[in-house]
């Protein structure tokens, strides 16, 4: 059930309507039932996988709380890791590693034909696996108590707004909210609905419109010259941002309407002043997850400059692999890790010459954006060969005469969408109030709501595809 | 809660008014725009009362020089080719609508295997949305786009979705005016494209699509029932290399088989049998002839059509 579909619209109206109509004690079970149904809408059988891993995690966590011995505790944690990561590996990475191994073996002249499973990837598996892992790890660290109530733990994992593509929630943040009473709060509901509307605008009007050009170019990358590929890459930068942040906005908005707060996932990432800053603004719930469960356990910044950088690089390598079972994603992670490393070395050894201030800040923004933008080539390219071709073309063949414009109307709407997004984000970044969901004057708010709704119908792509991050 | 519901209702009313007002404006713009991409192409075709209608995708739109064909045959010809509309559903919608307003002598389908095989792309059926209110066939086809299409169609703006720029373009002078639906492509394809030909984009799966074949049958039956003769034509495609050309001819034989079952006369202009269309100077890109190529192809077609009409009239 896509957020940008009528199916979801009716699901939302029914779920939220009934949520507020029924007594408090039935609200949690109702949300759980709705969430399970939401997931089963895609593939009923994969709900068994969630139930299986959650059940293991439930008992592991309870046992962890009672157990004192270090070895026994580590064994229990390992059981949770094997259960969760095992499923993730089997469904997402097994074929990739086997095929890569076979490729290497073949290259050195060894016969290798490993069996491939060709399994369908359960939607949201990367997201709910990380949530489950964070839960048992927190219990292991004794930073969060084991949940006694199984349905509540299950609801934490399957809570429908964030189940498929995040934000990656933490038990300490979400589970206590399920224990609170929820009341219909006009201001919250209004704010939540406005977020949903803005998310729909970003997805339907900007992301899916840009996708028409991006797909036409990237799916036949070999036919296009550098100027075309550069524009498609720029468009993809905005497409993926609008696509993914739209999902987060709708997820956060949906939860907010029902009285729950989800973690923030984006903070105007293209205004980042460095790669480190970018990762503090892009997919924040994943960045913080890696910080807490990979970077800090590796030693964080506690063991000197070079060890810190090694840890950072490891985190980005893992982050690349998390995104997809493909070498393009691995290289994408390496790209970001390498540039972050470079930036750290620069900051340490090269003295600053530009005085701090707005000019420096904007220079940094302008310096960071191309690095991020060019990294998206690896993310979007259909293969490593395509990515190589695209980089070659971008840097050597910017022939404007051979530029492919596609349908001019798609270009025009795409540019219009980017302009609207840029204006809103700039307004927010420079400290303006948030036009839609801060208490602005009613006529201004209504004008914004109506304007967005009309633009969605006028310019939106109604047969657009799935959210990009669903594949992860 | 009451305050919220009241606000929601008021916002709904505001949206309703805006939808009606903007939708009416868009409808007026649509009817008056000279745009070929999103304008009132069907309306223009109805008014032209053509004796021959050409229907199909962008290949139809850019390959059949309607006025040239019309002058040679002494019959008014209208080209209803439309970018992306390469399936039988478009043929059905267009034929039903045209037959409601007149009766052409001949219907020419630009045919490839896309006509009846491969997964149907339903988004292009949006071109019928502006007519859905008045034309039952347009509504019948348009609602196939999605199961929520009926709900979307409640909006007055929706039928004109993403049309504003192309409807305004002619007023800004940014358009090449089509001639009876034919739109000339100027320029010659790049060396990169010509080296690749169309082979890489050829879909590997050509299993028959039941929905398409159903509508193809219905289209042919409908036209024949009204006494309209139907021919299918596969216009030239640039293909690099003999092997690819031979493969393309086999594709044409598949098309001939399917159309033969429907007793539709079929002309195949594949490059292997028609080497006069092998030169890359005739192409805008691998799948589309440029103005020179289109004119040469139309002239070649004139003879075939003239002969066919003479034969079937006797």
pLDDT, tens digit (0-9, with 9 covering 90-100), for B112-139:
877 777 776 788 888 899 999 999 999 9
Split at pLDDT 50, 70, 90, the class of B200 is very low
Look at A458 and B193 and tell me if their CB atoms are within 8 Å. Answer: no
How far apart are the CA of B289 and the nearest CA of chain A, in angstroms?
17
Which of A183, A207, A225 finishes a domain? A183
pLDDT, tens digit (0-9, with 9 covering 90-100), for A406-433: 777 888 899 999 999 999 888 888 876 5
Q: A272 and A155, same structural domain?
A: no
The verdict on A414 touching B (C-beta cutoff 8 Å) is no
Q: Which ranges of chain B would DSSP assign to H, the alpha helix?
A: 2-32, 41-48, 58-63, 66-73, 88-101, 136-142, 149-152, 164-168, 191-196, 210-225, 242-261, 291-313
pLDDT at B87: 81
The verdict on A449 touching B (C-beta cutoff 8 Å) is yes
Residues on chain B touching A408 (C-beta within 8 angstroms): 165-166, 169, 174
Domain-located, residue B29: yes
pLDDT at B153: 92
Name every residue whose Cβ is closer than 8 Å to that of residue B311 and which is 6 or more positions away in sequence. Answer: none
Query: Is the pLDDT score of A437 beyond 70?
Result: no
Look at A459 and B193 and tell me if their CB atoms are within 8 Å. Answer: no
Domain-located, residue B25: yes
How many domains in chain B? 1
Domain-located, residue A108: yes
A224 catalytic, yes or no?
no
- Interaxial angle between packed helices A47-66 and A150-158, expressed in degrees from 0 to 180 and rounded to the nearest 10: 130
Domain-located, residue B5: no
List own/partner pairs for A170-173 with CB under 8 A and 24 or more apart: A170/A131, A170/A134, A170/A135, A170/A138, A170/A263, A171/A131, A171/A134, A171/A135, A171/A138, A171/A144, A171/A147, A172/A138, A172/A143, A172/A144, A173/A261, A173/A263
Domain-located, residue B3: no
Domain-located, residue B273: yes
Nearest CA in chain B to A465: B123
Q: A195 and A177, same structural domain?
A: no
pLDDT at A248: 95
pLDDT at A101: 84
pLDDT, tens digit (0-9, with 9 covering 90-100), for A188-211: 999 999 999 999 999 999 999 999
Q: A226 and A176, same structural domain?
A: no
pLDDT at A53: 95
Cβ atoms A258, A19 nearer than 8 A: yes
Split at pLDDT 50, 70, 90, the class of A400 is confident
Domain-located, residue B228: yes
Peptide bond just before A167 cis, omega within 30 deg: yes
Mean pLDDT of chain A: 90
DSSP-assigned states of every residue in B156-193: SSGGGTT-HHHHHGGGGT--PPPBTTB----S---HHH
Q: A273 and A147, same structural domain?
A: no
Residues on chain A touching B165 (C-beta within 8 angstroms): 408-409, 412-413
pLDDT, tens digit (0-9, with 9 covering 90-100), for A272-299: 999 999 999 999 999 999 999 999 999 8
Domain-located, residue A1: no
pLDDT at B193: 56
Let me know if A179 is exposed, middle or buried by CB neighbors in 10 A (0-12, 13-18, 19+). Answer: exposed
Which residue out of A210, A442, A457 would a mutagenesis test of the B interface target, given it has the greatest number of B Cβ atoms within 10 Å? A457
Q: What is the CATH number of the domain that holds B280?
A: 3.40.50.1110
- Give the closest residue to A42 by CA, choosing from A154, A163, A207, A166: A163
Which residue in the set B14, B22, B160 is minimally distant from A446, CB to CB?
A: B14
Cβ atoms A138, A171 nearer than 8 A: yes
pLDDT, tens digit (0-9, with 9 covering 90-100), for B242-252: 888 888 888 88
- Give the closest residue to A237 by CA, choosing from A356, A374, A144, A55: A374
Residues on chain A touching B190 (C-beta within 8 angstroms): 402
pLDDT top residue among A381 and B85: A381
Residues on chain A touching B164 (C-beta within 8 angstroms): 458-459
- Give the closest residue to B197 by CA, choosing from A468, A259, A222: A222
Residues on chain B touching A412 (C-beta within 8 angstroms): 165
Give the CA-trace dihedral at A41, A43, A46, A48, to 10 degrees. 60
Alpha-carbon distance of B219 to A407, in angstroms, equals 29
pLDDT at A439: 58
The verdict on A461 touching B (C-beta cutoff 8 Å) is yes
Q: A283 and A159, same structural domain?
A: no
| DSSP structure class, residue B90 | H
How many domains in chain A? 2
Q: Is B66 left (phi over 0), alpha (psi -120 to 50) or beta?
A: alpha
Entry pTM: 0.86
pLDDT top residue among B313 and A182: A182
Q: A431 and A320, same structural domain?
A: yes
- Give the closest residue to B200 by CA, choosing from B261, B244, B170: B244
DSSP-assigned states of every residue in A131-190: HHHHHHHHHHTTSSPPPS-HHHHHHHHH-HHHHTT-----HHHHHHHHHS-----HHHHH
pLDDT at B285: 84
Task: Note down the domain range covering B44.
Answer: 15-313
Cβ atoms A27, A182 nearer than 8 A: yes
pLDDT, tens digit (0-9, with 9 covering 90-100), for A231-276: 999 999 999 999 999 999 999 999 999 999 999 999 999 999 999 9
Split at pLDDT 50, 70, 90, the class of A305 is confident
pLDDT, tens digit (0-9, with 9 covering 90-100), for A92-145: 888 888 888 888 888 888 877 888 888 888 889 999 999 999 999 999 999 999
pLDDT at B177: 63
Look at B122 and A460 and tell me if their CB atoms are within 8 Å. Answer: no
Give the 3-state secondary structure of residue B55: strand
How far apart are the CA of A451 and the nearest CA of chain B, in angstroms?
9
DSSP-assigned states of every residue in A321-358: HHH-SSHHHHHHHHHHHHHHHHHHHHHHHS---SPSSH
Average pLDDT of span A48-61 = 96
Which residue in the set B1, B7, B155 is minimally distant from A457, CB to CB?
A: B155
Query: Which residues are bridge partners to B233 per DSSP?
Result: B110, B267
The percent of residues in chain B predicted with pLDDT above 90, rounded, is 34
pLDDT, tens digit (0-9, with 9 covering 90-100), for A326-354: 899 999 999 999 999 999 888 888 877 77
Name every residue whose Cβ is closer than 8 Å to that of residue A223 and which is 6 or more positions away in sequence. Answer: B192, B193, B196
Residues on chain A touching B160 (C-beta within 8 angstroms): 458
pLDDT at B201: 45
pLDDT at A198: 94
How far apart are the CA of B261 and the nearest CA of chain A, in angstroms?
34
Alpha-carbon distance of B28 to B130, in angstroms, equals 11
Which residue in the set B161, B169, B201 is minimally distant from A460, CB to CB?
A: B161
Domain-located, residue A416: yes
List own/partner pairs for A446-451 with CB under 8 A and 24 or more apart: A446/B11, A446/B14, A449/A194, A449/A197, A449/B11, A450/B11, A450/B14, A450/B15, A450/B18
pLDDT at A326: 87
Cβ atoms B53, B28 nearer than 8 A: no
Which of A137, A168, A183 finishes a domain? A183
Q: Can you give the length of chain B in residues? A: 314
Q: A204 and A168, same structural domain?
A: no
Domain-located, residue A249: yes
Alpha-carbon distance of A305 to A10, in angstroms, equals 53
What's the per-residue H, E or C state across A417-445?
HHHHHHHHHHHHHCCCCCCCCCCCCHHHH
How far apart are the CA of A28 and the nearest CA of chain B, in angstroms?
21
pLDDT at B131: 94
Q: Looking at A102-106, A136-140, A153-157, B196-200, which range is the least confident one?
A: B196-200
pLDDT at A435: 54
Split at pLDDT 50, 70, 90, the class of A67 is very high
pLDDT, tens digit (0-9, with 9 covering 90-100), for A348-393: 888 777 788 888 889 999 999 999 999 999 999 998 999 999 999 9
Name every residue whose Cβ is closer than 8 Å to that of residue A298 and which is 6 or more positions away in sequence. Answer: A311, A314, A315
- Give the closest residue to B104 by CA, choosing from B132, B136, B73: B73
Query: Which residues are bridge partners to B229 per DSSP?
Result: B106
Q: A170 and A28, same structural domain?
A: yes
Exposure string of A95-111, with b = 16+ CB inside 10 Å and e = fewer, is bbebebebeeeeeeeee
Domain-located, residue A117: yes
- Give the closest residue to B165 by CA, choosing from B43, B35, B58: B35
Domain-located, residue B1: no
A–B: how many Cβ contacts below 8 A?
A: 77
pLDDT, tens digit (0-9, with 9 covering 90-100), for B25-53: 999 999 888 776 778 888 888 888 999 99
**CA A57 from centroid of its chain's CA atoms:** 24
Let me know if B259 is exposed, middle or buried by CB neighbors in 10 A (0-12, 13-18, 19+). Answer: buried
Domain-located, residue B8: no
Average pLDDT of span A289-312 = 90
Query: Is the pLDDT score of A48 beyond 60?
Result: yes
pLDDT at A471: 66
Query: Is the pLDDT score of A16 beyond 80?
Result: yes
Cβ atoms B104, B226 nearer than 8 A: no
Nearest CA in chain A to B121: A463
Q: A137 and A267, same structural domain?
A: no
pLDDT, tens digit (0-9, with 9 covering 90-100), for B159-186: 999 888 888 887 776 555 677 888 888 8
Residue from A323, A336, A389, A410 carrying the catalytic annotation: A323
Cα angle for residues A363, A364, A367 (degrees, 5° grid): 85
Query: Is the pLDDT score of A171 beyond 90?
Result: yes
How far apart are the CA of B89 and the nearest CA of chain A, in angstroms?
17
Give the CA-trace dihedral at B35, A216, B95, B77, to 10 degrees. 50
Alpha-carbon distance of B269 to B282, in angstroms, equals 14
Q: A262 and A150, same structural domain?
A: no
Which of A183, A211, A229 finishes a domain? A183
How far apart are the CA of A457 and the nearest CA of chain B, in angstroms?
6
Give the 3-state secondary structure of residue A113: coil
Q: Is A90 left (phi over 0), alpha (psi -120 to 50) or beta?
A: alpha
- List strands edge to edge, sheet with B52-56: B77-81, B52-56, B106-110, B229-234, B265-268
Average pLDDT of span B219-225 = 92
Q: A95 and A203, same structural domain?
A: no
pLDDT at A116: 84
The percent of residues in chain A predicted with pLDDT above 90, rounded, is 63
Alpha-carbon distance of B130 to B215, in angstroms, equals 21
| DSSP structure class, residue B117 | B
Task: Note down the domain range covering A150.
Answer: 6-183
Look at A446 and B18 and tell me if their CB atoms are within 8 Å. Answer: no
């Amino acid at each position: 059930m896509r957020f940008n579909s009528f199916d979801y619209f009716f699901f939302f109206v029914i779920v939220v309507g009934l949520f507020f109509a029924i007594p408090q004690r039935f609200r949690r079970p109702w949300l759980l039932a709705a969430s399970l149904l939401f997931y089963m809408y895609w593939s009923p059988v994969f709900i068994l996988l969630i139930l299986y891993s959650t059940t293991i995690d439930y008992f592991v966590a309870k046992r962890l709380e009672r157990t004192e011995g270090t070895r026994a505790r580590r064994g229990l944690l390992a059981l949770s890791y094997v259960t969760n990561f095992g499923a993730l590996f089997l469904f997402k990475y097994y074929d990739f590693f086997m095929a890569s191994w076979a490729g290497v073996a073949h290259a050195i002249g060894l016969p290798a034909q490993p069996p491939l499973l060709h399994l369908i990837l359960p939607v949201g598996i990367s997201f709910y696996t990380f949530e489950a892992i964070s839960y048992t790890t927190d219990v292991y660290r004794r930073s969060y108590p084991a949940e006694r109530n199984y349905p509540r733990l299950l609801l934490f994992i399957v809570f429908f707004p964030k189940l498929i593509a995040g934000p990656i929630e933490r038990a300490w943040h979400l589970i206590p909210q399920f224990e609170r009473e929820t009341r219909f709060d006009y201001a919250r509901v209004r704010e939540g609905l406005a977020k949903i509307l803005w998310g729909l605008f970003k997805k339907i009007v900007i992301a899916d419109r840009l996708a028409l050009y991006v797909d036409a170019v990237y799916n036949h990358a070999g036919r296009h010259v550098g100027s075309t590929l550069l524009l498609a890459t720029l468009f993809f930068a905005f497409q993926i941002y609008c696509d993914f942040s739209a999902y987060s906005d709708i997820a956060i908005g949906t939860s907010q309407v029902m009285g729950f707060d989800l973690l923030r996932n984006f903070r105007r990432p293209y205004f980042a002043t460095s790669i480190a800053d970018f990762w503090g603004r892009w997919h924040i719930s994943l960045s913080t997850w890696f910080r807490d469960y990979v970077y800090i356990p590796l030693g964080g910044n506690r063991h000197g400059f070079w060890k810190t950088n090694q840890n950072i690089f490891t985190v980005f390598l893992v982050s690349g692999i998390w995104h997809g079972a493909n070498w393009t994603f691995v290289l994408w992670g390496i790209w970001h890790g390498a540039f972050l490393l470079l930036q750290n070395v620069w900051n340490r050894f090269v003295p600053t010459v530009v005085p701090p201030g707005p000019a420096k800040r904007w220079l940094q923004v302008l310096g960071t954006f191309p690095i991020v933008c060019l990294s998206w080539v690896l993310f979007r390219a259909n293969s490593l060969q395509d990515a190589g071709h695209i980089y070659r073309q971008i840097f050597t063949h910017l022939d404007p005469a051979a530029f492919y414009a596609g349908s001019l109307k798609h270009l025009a709407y795409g540019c219009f969408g980017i302009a609207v997004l840029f204006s809103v984000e700039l307004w927010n970044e420079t400290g303006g109030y948030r036009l839609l969901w801060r208490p602005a004057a009613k006529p201004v708010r209504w004008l914004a709501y109506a304007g967005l709704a009309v633009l969605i119908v006028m310019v939106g792509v109604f047969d657009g595809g799935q959210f990009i991050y669903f594949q992860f | 809660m009451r305050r919220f519901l009241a606000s929601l209702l008021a916002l709904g009313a505001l949206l309703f008014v805006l939808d009606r007002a903007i939708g009416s404006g868009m409808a007026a713009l649509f009817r008056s725009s000279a745009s070929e991409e999103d304008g009132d192409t069907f309306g223009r075709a109805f008014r032209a009362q053509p004796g021959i209608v050409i229907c199909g995708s962008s290949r139809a739109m850019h390959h059949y020089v309607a006025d040239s064909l019309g002058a040679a045959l002494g019959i008014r010809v209208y080209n209803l080719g439309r970018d992306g509309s390469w399936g039988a559903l478009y043929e059905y919608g267009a034929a039903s609508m045209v037959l409601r307003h007149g009766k052409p002598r001949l219907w020419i389908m630009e045919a490839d295997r896309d006509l009846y095989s491969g997964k149907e792309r339903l988004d292009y059926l949006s071109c019928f949305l502006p007519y859905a209110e008045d034309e039952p066939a347009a509504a019948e086809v348009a609602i196939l786009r999605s199961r929520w299409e009926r709900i979307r169609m409640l909006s007055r703006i929706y039928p004109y979705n993403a049309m504003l720029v192309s409807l305004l373009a002619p007023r800004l002078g940014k358009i090449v005016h089509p001639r009876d639906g034919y739109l000339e492509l100027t320029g010659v394809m790049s060396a990169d494209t010509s080296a690749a030909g169309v082979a890489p984009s050829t879909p590997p799966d050509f299993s028959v699509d039941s929905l398409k074949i159903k509508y193809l049958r219905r289209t042919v039956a409908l036209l024949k029932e009204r006494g309209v003769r139907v021919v299918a034509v596969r216009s030239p495609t640039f293909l690099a290399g003999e092997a690819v050309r031979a493969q393309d001819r086999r594709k044409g034989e598949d098309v001939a088989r399917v159309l033969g079952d429907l007793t539709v006369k079929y002309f195949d202009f594949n490059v292997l049998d028609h080497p006069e269309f092998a030169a890359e100077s005739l192409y805008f890109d691998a799948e589309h002839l440029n103005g020179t190529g289109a004119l040469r192809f139309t002239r070649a077609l004139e003879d075939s059509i003239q002969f066919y009409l003479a034969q079937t009239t006797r």
